[in-house]
Amino acid sequence: MGLLCSFQNCYICGQIGATIYCCGRHCELSFHLPCAKQGRCVTQFITPYRAFCPTHSPEQAVEATPEPGTQCLICMEPVEDRKTFSTMVCPACKTAWFHRDCIQGQALHAGYFSIQCPLCRNRDAFRKDMLTMGIRIPYSHTR
């Protein structure tokens, strides 16, 4: 990723130099990393660093739908009425809903060893789901 000179057009902004390709079967969409979020593309920050266009993006396996009026546990703003690119749920308790941006902010702050569901404090299943969904969770240098 990134070393090959690319003349592919980014399907989100239309400019050339797109170096990220969707891993979906027979999918030829490519895009720039900075454009991914705007295009609702999932880019995974764990090996093998796969990326997906919206059509081929992974979905959270858990079956859950937010109650009407459900708020993000982190910013207290309403979430969407179902799981989406930007509305995510804890796979363990299925009652903690939050925005992608909000949990991404927490993940950067907490780091790999401290990231947990803000509600039930589950770590393993929670972290696995967040990584699959393209949340970047850095290895923290602080203890």
Binding site for Zn ion (CB under 5 A): 10, 12-13, 22, 24, 27, 29, 32, 35, 53, 55-56, 72, 74-75, 90, 92-93, 96, 99, 102, 117, 119-120, 122
Is 37 or 141 the residue whose CB approaches Zn ion more closely?
37
CB of 46 to Zn ion, least distance (A): 19
Is 24 or 111 the residue whose CB approaches Zn ion more closely?
24
Query: In this structure, which long-range contacts are made by residues 61-69, counting pairs with CB atoms below 8 Å and at least 24 apart in sequence?
Result: 61/91, 61/129, 62/89, 62/91, 62/94, 62/129, 63/94, 64/89, 64/94, 64/95, 66/97
Is 123 or 140 the residue whose CB approaches Zn ion more closely?
123
CB of 8 to Zn ion, least distance (A): 10
Q: Helix H segments across 2-66?
A: none
Is 90 or 107 the residue whose CB approaches Zn ion more closely?
90
Q: Helix H segments across 1-143?
A: 100-110, 124-132
CB of 141 to Zn ion, least distance (A): 26
CB of 28 to Zn ion, least distance (A): 8
Is 55 or 142 the residue whose CB approaches Zn ion more closely?
55
CB of 129 to Zn ion, least distance (A): 10
User: Among candidates 133, 135, 84, 89, which has minimal Cα distance to 108?
Assistant: 135
| Pair of tokens at residue 97 | 């809903």
For 16, residues 6+ apart whose C-beta sits below 8 A from its C-beta are: 6, 7, 8, 9, 10
